[in-house]
């Protein structure tokens, strides 16, 4: 005897899958993947900032020009290095050359402070690369300075 899937009474019914709980299942799967996945933490530049000065007190430190090295990044992304006592002798250096130059200057002058001046329109990648070179050269005394002349594209 053959078995027929159609009902004996005429039209026949079709099999259906209940879909009432599919929303619940999708929600549970979403929670599972959100709780088990790891999101990348955005890394920033680690900078140790000085302690804030009380209101009304002066926070400037006077540094002799012979102990101040200017590292400037202009809007075009060029890096210029010069001593504050000799700004006319500024030299444009590439980022790989910067580390060697800094290591030599820091070895020659233990009191050297680096004034890192970046234009707002300079490429961010160049600023990060220069900052990395400062770290690799073991420059511990770095000052971040805003200089309006760098905004117009001129030198300091």
Instruction: Dump pLDDT digits (tens) for 30-63.
Output: 999 888 888 777 676 666 666 777 777 766 778 8
Most confident stretch, 9-13, 55-59, 71-75, 151-155: 71-75
Structure-token pair, residue 18:
């209940």
Contact between residue 154 and residue 126 where contact means Cβ atoms under 8 Å apart: no
Nearest Cα to 156, choosing from 126, 116, 125, 123?
Answer: 116
CB burial of residue 129 (10 Å; 0-12, 13-18, 19+): middle
Strand partners, 116: 71, 144
Structure tokens at 140: 């511990």
pTM, two decimal places: 0.60
Give the DSSP H or E segment for 65.
Answer: none
Statement: residue 10 has pLDDT above 80: no
DSSP 139: -
| CATH assignment, 70-150 | 3.30.420.270
Tokens of 132: 């990395």
């Amino acid at each position: 005897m053959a078995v027929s899937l159609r009902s004996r009474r005429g039209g026949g019914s079709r099999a259906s899958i209940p879909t009432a709980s599919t929303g619940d299942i999708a929600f549970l799967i979403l929670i599972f993947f959100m709780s088990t996945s790891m999101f990348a933490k955005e890394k920033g530049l680690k900078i140790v900032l000085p302690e804030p000065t009380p209101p009304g007190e002066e926070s400037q430190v006077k540094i002799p020009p012979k102990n101040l090295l200017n590292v400037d990044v202009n809007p075009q992304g060029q890096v210029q290095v010069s001593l504050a006592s000799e700004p006319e002798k500024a030299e444009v250096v590439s980022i790989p050359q910067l580390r060697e130059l800094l290591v030599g200057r820091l070895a020659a002058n233990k009191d050297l402070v680096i004034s890192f001046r970046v234009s707002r329109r300079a490429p961010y990648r160049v600023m990060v690369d220069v900052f990395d070179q400062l770290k690799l050269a073991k420059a511990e005394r770095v000052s971040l300075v805003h200089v309006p002349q760098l905004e117009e594209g001129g030198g300091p």
